[in-house]
Chains A and B, each alone.
Chain A
């Protein structure tokens, strides 16, 4: 059975491929037959002319045999599927003739394609990015992988020399290290920028010439060469106002004054997202194995070389190194990979995970197009007469299906153009959110682009085809079901098409979605409102917050780390002193996290057990958030200790932080908890004197592994430690996550956050703070400086976008639903005009007639509302944790409202049905 099907498919495919030659082949075969037959007849004594005639007579009509032959080869249906230009022309005409359907259906399909293509492009850029440089995908990264510790070993200076000398499959090998430095402006305030200390070969490798001046050259790398910098296009525009005489001018990066020697063109940000390039000065000759600075190595595959050949060559060098430098290189495995992969690590499962995000979106496309199909079906049903005439004129089922497909394809084509035009804006938004929400304001690598790749355009074309198949072919199949013969029998006004099970499912689903979506939108809006109105009892607008960082090389020893910590602390103390001297400042405090910020979650256990029930999602302990704060923290935020005592100076010098290693059995020191902690962990019992310690999310601690016990010494009010984790509930003043505080000396955690309470204009003080910081130490960098109240701004933007998106989907679902219900009702009235007329003529009550006719559509709408209600109940339960009498009352009211809104679509068809006159009914039967 299977082999026969395969044989038929193969034959059909071959015939379709050779369709144009097939006729010629048949002609040739028939001709030979006729000639051989004629020759045989001549041998029996007929004249050549008579023999030829006789042969033709015996053979019969060649065209008829060719038709039969094509049918034997299964080509008849295929031939019927050909689309003509006329179909598309008709499709265009339909767009104009049915503007309502064009607008609603087109908008819905455009939205589906917009979402589908945008998400696909994003996933593609993560999984398999294109480097937007000449031959950019041949740029590779090289690194040493430490197999014993399962992480890269970035101290590769020694290897760099060996790779440069021995690798033939790559060229323009170079290295860089990414630095954050303060760009010191004329007013002496610092602005943190991304700088690449980079080999001059990078500019050869990227094959992008500078817009002005020159790129870095090898001479710049020699020790003692003048300090030079190449700047990016944006910097040139922003910092130098596009000055064409910028070459030769100087700028100051932290403590170094460099001369600008070149400007790179717009969009150039190699190797990741840098906009300043300074020479990488390395003394490679004295580099010992696994020593020196941490570097990232890049190169370009040499002409003719492939990633595979480079890998083989590098492996050979790696094997030699493990032999010759066994002490340092025994576990090091050199690797080569595409540039992007070295920055955004994408392994197989991750890639599958990212790409599979597209599946639900394809389902969304199918759902939306299913709705459009309903409208198309209603339209096709009203055109039953036209279709019947076409089939009477000889159009087969395939032809009619292809005509409706072409019409849907025209609509889908327009929708795709609109959807794809908007996709760029969508990508820009998503990337903006990722940068603000997940990269703390840093930029995505330069290969993330806001335009669509050819692959995505191809994918969008497939989506459009899919949309057209669903919106065009499915209704066409239903309309033409039962064969062309049935169509020929049908007549105007007494159509035989019915809305069957599939359309019932579509209507029920779309009404359910229509009911559920506004509720989701409402919850998103509510979260945003609560977040906006978050109030923790201190005037958040009076606070300026910022993150502090300072230039330093990665510590290579504990002594290095200690030296840096001391330097940072003394710098902070000096800055803090100067801030306090500002007449506008009333208080200043230092902490690892501030109110309104996201505080990571941890689990704790309490000695003798806590009194409150444990959330079964985290059975090993209580979920808490923590912050480490300096002595002025609670005073600065108007949060006096409510019971117990405050931290004393002694606590600050002796305490461990939440991550510190303390000898077994040692004490971690005191902690202060907030009021939600008393409620959520202690069950409102007195917490003072109780002890707690951190436990792992995954495993119960063994005595050796267990952290130190911390003693609870005091209670303060909630200061917004749960914002960002439980947006909404937290901001509503009833957080679900408890919080606790550890004492740290000022500047004792790195990087840290500073909150300055200012009297008067916070923004004016902001620029003073930058200047103060640069004066104290030019290497002190300030990030994310903003009023404390604005810390939720990016969350709010995020929620706002979700709200708009969900609202748009809700509106779309509502419009589609109403249009669908309207179409079904109108169709029902049109189809049963005669019946309505006759019933009314026979004296039936109009109300009863309407009820009898609309009972089915009404059932469908009610079914949808009930299903939507169930989804709403699940949603409400999930978000608020319960579904009480109040929620039930609200939900019932809402469902009744939605039912009446949906029934609005019935008004016009009902009026039309009531207005049907018996005479009209009889005329429609003619």
Chain B
């Protein structure tokens, strides 16, 4: 566990949006998908996933409905809404911009200042 990175504040919502953008998922499925796409490198507080899911649903970025899971149990499936898709695009662009700014800033050398 200790080799995993702690999540930066505010990034869980972005990861959830990304995860459900790849297909309909139940709560545990979201967790597995994030672990999968991050190469199992991010440490996620499992219980904290659900308040985040509810928050995104409350904001209309994801929607949910009840279905049947692989093990034949009732499960709540989440999917991306149109508003969520738009938000995901904006967030990704913003993230990339900040990441590149950060990378550039941190790569600065003494003669460049």
Interface residues of A (CB under 8 A from B): 3-4, 6-8, 10-12, 15, 25-26, 28-30, 32-33, 35-37, 39, 58-62, 64-65, 68-69, 71-74
Contacts and interface: CB of A to CB of B under 8 A. Distances in A.
A72 B76 contact: no
Given A72-B54, A73-B54, A7 B46 contact: no
Interface in B5-58: 26-28, 31, 45-48, 50-52, 54-55, 57-58
B54 to A, nearest CB: 4
Contact of B48 (A6, A60, A73): A60
B57 A69 contact: no
B88 to A, nearest CB: 15
21 contacts: A6-B60, A7-B59, A7-B83, A15-B58, A26-B50, A28-B74, A29-B27, A30-B50, A32-B27, A33-B31, A35-B73, A36-B71, A37-B46, A60-B45, A65-B48, A65-B51, A68-B51, A72-B51, A72-B55, A73-B57, A73-B58
Contacts, number: 81
B60 A7 contact: yes
Nearest to B73: A32
Closest 4 CB pairs of A and B: A7-B60, A60-B47, A68-B51, A72-B55
Contacts of A69: 50-51, 54
* Majority secondary structure, B binding face: helix
B83 A4 contact: yes
Nearest to B58: A11
Contacts of B60: 3-4, 6-8, 10-11
Counting contact residues on chain B (CB < 8 A from A), the size range is: 20 to 34
B69 interface: yes
Contacts of A73: 54-55, 57-58
Given A32-B28, A33-B46, A25 B76 contact: yes
B83 A3 contact: yes
A60 B51 CA distance: 13
Contacts of A65: 47-48, 50-51
Contacts of A10: 60
Contacts of A35: 71, 73
A28 B58 CA distance: 19
B47 A4 contact: no
Nearest to A5: B60
Nearest to A31: B73
A59 B47 contact: yes
Nearest to A58: B46
Nearest to B75: A32
A64 B47 contact: yes
B52 A33 contact: no
A4 B59 contact: yes
B41 to A, nearest CB: 17
Given A7-B58, A69-B54, 7 more contacts: A3-B60, A7-B83, A11-B58, A15-B58, A30-B47, A32-B74, A39-B71
A850 B58 CA distance: 55
Contacts of A4: 59-60, 83
A144 B31 CA distance: 76
A60 to B, nearest CB: 4
Contacts of B46: 33, 37, 58-60
Contacts of B45: 60
Nearest to A60: B47
A39 B76 CA distance: 18
A68 to B, nearest CB: 4
A72 B48 contact: no
Contacts of B58: 7-8, 11-12, 15, 72-74
